[in-house]
Amino acid sequence: MGVSSGAFYILRKSNLITGKTTLTNPTRIAATFAELKSSGHMAFMPFLTAGDPDIPTTLRLIQEFAGRSVDLIELGFPYSDPIADGPVIQASYTRALNNGLKVHDIFDGVRSLPTDELPPLVAMVSYAIIFRTGNQKFVEQAKTAGFSGFIVPDLPADEAEEFAELVKSIGLDLIQLISPTTPEERAKNILSTASGFVYVISVAGTTGVRDELPPELSGQLQWLRENTDLPLAVGFGISNPDHVDILRGQADGIIVGSAIVRQVEQIGENGDATIESVGQYAQEMVAATRK
């Protein structure tokens, strides 16, 4: 099943209550997770590298994912020295950059979409890119383009407060990452500047498809649950519905990157077929989160 130009995901609007906190003016990300929680569902968030193989294909994939009812979409801004990304995503960044991709190409492309009718878009972007553009300018451009939040993997927690306040002031979210090796006191500091949800890194190391999830992940999720009311979304190594089953009741969402980027790499003369295949994979993962 493909998606026509008008077949977009529509975010339902309602008064939502999550845990202890009533969402009076929630961000789009917070509202999405709250609505899923009220339905007893987990979130599925696929990752795409912007500009791999080109911006038009990226936009088609965003719309394909929207037509398959994914809940959020993470869009990676290619960077020459990525943080924590494994070889599959690193290679996709290199392909995009070698094709001459610029930051304004991403913003212009996303701006051409009806982003208010799409799932929330989250920018995975190096702080070096943001800093070079200017914090205020970058955040404002991202909001105007239609992004709902940011993941900034190389922004240290003890330097994130000012940027987090800037992001919050214009109604967007700064999603923070917590790894298995993050000390508890540092994790609490990171959580203090987080909003939207917490990106829980399942394993120490870089992104990539893995057969199994580490047994200590359950303890990590339990500790986080005791220390924040924010939704917990697990990434790194997630690739199939069995992983969703393992995390059911422990996490609020799952993030899949390398397994999708590896499929996108095959786009060539059979572009339509590959996009269809990626969409079918996304639909299977969405179905797994709805059980």
- Please report the pLDDT score of residue 210 as a whole number: 44
Distances (CA, A) of 89 to 115, 208, 248: 24, 8, 26
Rounded CA gap, 30 and 194, in Å? 12
Domain containing residue 132: CATH number: 3.20.20.70
- Please report the pLDDT score of residue 204 as a whole number: 56
How crowded is the C-beta side of 129, counted as CA atoms within 13 Å? Answer: 26
Total domains in the fold of the chain: 1
Residue 258 and residue 89 in contact, taking contact as beta carbons nearer than 8 Å = yes
Angle at which helix 271-289 crosses helix 55-67, to 10 degrees, equals 40
2 falls within a domain: no
20 falls within a domain: no
pLDDT tops 90 at residue 253: yes
pLDDT in tens, 173-229: 999 999 988 999 999 999 999 999 999 998 754 444 445 566 789 999 999 999 999
pLDDT in tens, 19-41: 333 445 799 999 999 999 999 99
pLDDT in tens, 114-145: 999 999 999 999 999 999 999 999 999 999 99
- Which residues, in sequence order, are CB contacts of 108 under 8 Å at separation 6+? 55, 145
pLDDT in tens, 57-75: 999 999 999 999 999 999 9
88 falls within a domain: yes
- Please report the pLDDT score of residue 10 as a whole number: 35
Domain of residue 242, residue span = 28-289
Q: Token pair of 66, please? A: 């929207």
Active site residues per annotation: 74, 85
Mean pLDDT within 287-291 = 94
Only one residue has tokens 């990434």, namely 235
- Please report the pLDDT score of residue 157 as a whole number: 83
Q: Which of 218, 235, 240 is nearest to 288 (CA)?
A: 240
9 falls within a domain: no
16 falls within a domain: no
3 falls within a domain: no
Only one residue has tokens 């193989």, namely 53
Its pTM stands at: 0.88
pLDDT in tens, 80-90: 876 656 788 99
Long-range contacts of the stretch 219-222 (C-beta < 8 A, 24+): 220/178, 220/180, 221/247, 221/250, 221/251, 222/250
Which residues in 50-125 belong to E strands, given as ranges?
Answer: 73-76, 121-124
Angle at which helix 161-169 crosses helix 135-145, to 10 degrees, equals 40
Only one residue has tokens 């492309």, namely 109
Reported as type and span, the H/E element at residue 254 is strand 253-256
1 falls within a domain: no
Rounded CA gap, 140 and 133, in Å? 11
Give residue 269's pLDDT band: very low, low, confident or very high (50, 70, 90). Answer: low
231 falls within a domain: yes
Rounded CA gap, 72 and 113, in Å? 15
Q: Token pair of 254, please? A: 């799952």
Rounded CA gap, 275 and 266, in Å? 10
> Per the omega criterion (within 30 degrees of 0), is the bond before 53 cis?
yes
